[in-house]
């Protein structure tokens, strides 16, 4: 019986030691099984040990009275305090502590997960902004490609008409063309004025143009009208700058470029490309285009505008108008026939 009791004590101590070790491992790994299994076995062994002690006490109570020496020995044994064992309350406290440790670990893990999710959202936002910037850049690139294509078309047109010659028109051509320049009521009109060509044409005749009167005639019978003037300027010429300001007040939208002196000594500010490009780009916003120029370089943009279902009127002096341009236009107005109204 004593040997069996010793074996129970040894097993109990081993299980208690295992419980302590399991508690340490559980606090690290978060697994309660490392401590709960040894503690459960220890509790079973303690219950078994207590049961055997109770049996021994019952057996000793049923024995006959012993001698004084035996009683003294028994009393001496009873004077020793019994060993203390882990109770169920202690086990519950230990398990509760382990649960608290696990709960704290879960809270820490949840906090880390939330932090990672926030970082992921920030990265996704940055990627979204990058995608938007990329799309905007692609749109700008497409617009630039379209503009370059239009410029190439205008340059091709100018090269094709570079050798067109300006010759006087016969009275028959002028008369028939002038008669056909009758607009429909409430048309949308856009007027494009080549100021240099108009100026040199008037100078060849020794006259000066009243631009306010000219604009009034060109705007006749139009519901809406936009007027664009293309001209060069000299920064130090105050009189010229004042004239351009006056033109703006009269309703002209002025596009100007500084006059440049070329190697051959000539001074010029070429705005043919700008005029042609605007004429083509704005085709959807007008019904009739009025080109105030006799330059044959504008034949190609005139044909492009006509291909989009728009009418084109050419207004210039007969003596300085390209035959090719006059034939390409839907009608031609000779300014020499209305000098009394525009001078």
Question: Could you tell me how far CA 54 lies from the centroid of its own chain?
Answer: 85
| Cα four-point dihedral sign 311, 312, 315, 319 | negative
Cα(339)–Cα(214) distance, rounded to whole angstroms? 10
Cβ-contact 292, 192 below 8 angstroms: yes
In what side-by-side order are the strands of the sheet with 187-194?
253-258, 222-233, 187-194, 288-292, 311-316, 331-334
Tell me the whole-structure pTM to 2 decimals.
0.50
Calculate ∠ Cα 116-121-127, nearest 5°.
125
Cα(136)–Cα(174) distance, rounded to whole angstroms? 51
Per-residue confidence at 168, pLDDT binned at 50, 70, 90?
very low
pLDDT above 50 (res 169):
no
Say what the pLDDT of residue 177 is: 41
CB atoms within 10 A of CB 104: 11
pLDDT in tens, 50-101: 677 777 776 666 545 555 555 555 555 545 555 555 677 877 888 888 888 8
| Spatial CA neighbour of 161 closest among 326, 327, 329, 325 | 325
Cα(105)–Cα(115) distance, rounded to whole angstroms? 15
pLDDT in tens, 114-162: 888 889 988 988 888 888 888 888 888 887 877 777 777 666 655 555 4
Say what the pLDDT of residue 66 is: 52
Say what the pLDDT of residue 29 is: 66
Cα(325)–Cα(269) distance, rounded to whole angstroms? 22
Of the listed ranges 121-130, 135-144, 204-213, 322-331, the least confidently predicted one is: 135-144
Range from 88-92, 105-109, 161-165, 241-245 that averages highest in pLDDT: 241-245
Say what the pLDDT of residue 170 is: 38
Topology classification of domain 171-342: Rossmann fold (3.40.50)
- Paired strand residues for 188: 224
Find the length of the chain: 343
Per-residue confidence at 296, pLDDT binned at 50, 70, 90?
very high
| Spatial CA neighbour of 335 closest among 166, 164, 190, 205 | 205
Mean pLDDT of the chain, nearest integer = 77
Cα-flanking dihedrals φ and ψ of residue 289, to 5°?
A: -105, 130
pLDDT above 80 (res 13):
no
Mean pLDDT of 202-209: 90
Say what the pLDDT of residue 98 is: 84
Cα(68)–Cα(72) distance, rounded to whole angstroms? 6
User: Taking the domains of the chain in order of start, what are their residue ranges?
Assistant: 2-86, 171-342
pLDDT above 90 (res 268):
no
pLDDT in tens, 269-287: 788 999 999 999 999 999 9
pLDDT above 70 (res 187):
yes
| Ranges of H-type helices in the chain | 2-29, 33-62, 68-79, 88-160, 171-179, 195-205, 211-218, 238-249, 272-281, 299-307, 323-328, 339-342
């Amino acid at each position: 019986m004593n040997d069996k009791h010793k074996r129970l004590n040894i097993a109990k101590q081993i299980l208690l030691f295992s419980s302590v070790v399991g508690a340490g491992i559980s606090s690290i790994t978060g697994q309660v099984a490392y401590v709960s299994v040894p503690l459960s076995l220890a509790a079973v062994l303690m219950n078994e040990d207590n049961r055997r002690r109770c049996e021994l006490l019952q057996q000793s109570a049923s024995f006959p009275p012993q001698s004084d020496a035996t009683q003294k020995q028994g009393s001496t044994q009873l004077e020793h305090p019994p060993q203390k064992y882990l109770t169920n309350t202690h086990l519950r406290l230990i398990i509760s502590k382990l649960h608290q440790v696990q709960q704290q670990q879960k809270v820490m893990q949840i906090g880390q997960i939330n932090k990672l999710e926030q970082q992921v959202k920030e990265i996704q936002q940055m990627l979204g902004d990058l995608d938007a910037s990329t799309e905007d850049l692609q749109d700008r690139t497409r617009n630039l490609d379209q503009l370059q294509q239009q410029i190439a078309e205008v340059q091709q047109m100018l090269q094709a008409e570079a050798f067109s010659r300006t010759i006087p028109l016969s009275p028959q051509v002028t008369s028939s063309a002038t008669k056909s320049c009758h607009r429909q009521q409430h048309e949308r009109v856009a007027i494009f004025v080549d100021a240099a060509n108009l100026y040199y044409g008037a100078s060849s005749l020794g006259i000066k143009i009243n631009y306010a009167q000219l604009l009034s005639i060109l705007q006749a019978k139009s519901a809406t009208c936009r007027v664009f003037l293309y001209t060069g300027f000299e920064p130090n010429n105050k009189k010229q700058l004042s004239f351009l300001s006056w033109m703006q007040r009269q309703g002209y939208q002025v596009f100007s470029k500084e006059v440049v002196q070329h190697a051959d000594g000539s001074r010029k500010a070429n705005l043919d490309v700008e005029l042609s490009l605007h004429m083509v780009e704005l085709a959807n916003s007008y019904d009739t285009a009025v080109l105030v120029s006799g330059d044959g370089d504008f034949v190609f943009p005139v044909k492009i505008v006509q291909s989009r279902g728009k009418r084109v009127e050419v207004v210039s002096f007969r003596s300085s108008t390209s035959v090719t341009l006059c034939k390409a236009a839907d009608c031609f107005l000779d300014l020499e026939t209305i000098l009394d109204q525009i001078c």
